[in-house]
Amino acid sequence: MSERGTFVTEFVHCNDCFEKVKKVLLSVDFRKEILYAYTLGKNAVAGQIRGSWSGEELWIFESNIIPKLNKLDLCHRLRISVISDSCGEKTFTFGENKTK
């Protein structure tokens, strides 16, 4: 059985922040890691992430994706939750250097 997990952003009220986050999560840079990603309505992004070993989904977000999200010029602090197939879940906060 292959390990696969799910991720979802919180509902992002700020359209500017949402567009920046969506652009990163839907980018081709992560096509090897993210099996698919799509928008949920107008203000959230969700998808499935690959993994071949227990917890790899969390590691991919922590080491590859969250650093790119932290580099965005966001006006709000945002969260994304990653649910691993067999290794629990983790919520990451990014844009922490902002005041809102």
Domains in the chain: ranges and CATH: 3-94 (3.30.70)
At 2 the pLDDT is 43
Distance CA 35, CA 50 (A): 6
What is the pTM assigned to this prediction?
Answer: 0.84
At 99 the pLDDT is 47
Rg value, the chain, Cα: 13
Distance CA 82, CA 10 (A): 11
Q: What are the C-alpha distances in Å from 39 to residues 9, 43, 59, 61, 74?
A: 10, 7, 23, 18, 19
DSSP 8-state class, residue 21: H
Can you give the pLDDT of all 100 residues of the chain as single tens digits? 345 789 999 999 999 999 999 999 988 677 778 788 889 888 999 999 887 888 888 999 999 999 999 999 999 999 999 998 888 899 999 986 544 4
Q: Which amino acid is at 40?
A: L
